[in-house]
Amino acid sequence: MPSNIPSKSDENGAAEFIKHQKLCDLDYYSRFSREELETKHADILHLYEVLKKDTRFGIVLSFALIPVSAVILWYFYLLLANPAYAFYASKNMNIAEIIALLIHIGALLLHAACIAFSVSDGFYLSFLRRQKETVEELLTINEAK
């Protein structure tokens, strides 16, 4: 089924795909009146600024947790590398060690979540940036008319 949407895998396909997305965005936003565009622009700017601050916090938190995760991974390595402890871990572990192990696993999961949220926020931030530029371009065109 042929399509007029360019493929990302073609030579120069990425640039063509971005150009096609830009034209689709322009087509979508050109349907709105000037007042609606200004409202959408204000909403996009607000969301963009809030998300930018949150993304910075997530990135800083991710980098701050790197040493903690490294120590925890080293602890797991030592735990698994000691054959005597690994084979008899279930018999010899008391409740405090089990709780400590669960806290360590929770810290690793928190670090992974911070990284995942930072990456997804970055993608959404780039989407909002493109929308912001498109609306600003249409507002500039409307002012020129």
pLDDT tens string, the chain, 145 residues long: the values are 445 555 555 566 666 766 767 777 777 777 777 788 888 888 888 888 888 887 888 788 888 888 888 888 887 777 777 665 555 555 566 777 778 778 888 888 888 888 888 888 888 888 888 888 888 888 887 777 6
Tell me the whole-structure pTM to 2 decimals: 0.58
CA-nearest of 24, 69, 142 to 77 is 69
Cα–Cα distance measured from residue 72 to residue 54, given in angstroms and rounded to the nearest whole number: 26
Cα–Cα distance measured from residue 118 to residue 126, given in angstroms and rounded to the nearest whole number: 12
Per-domain residue ranges of the chain: 13-144
Give 99's Cβ-side CA count (13 Å radius): 3
CB atoms within 10 A of CB 131: 19
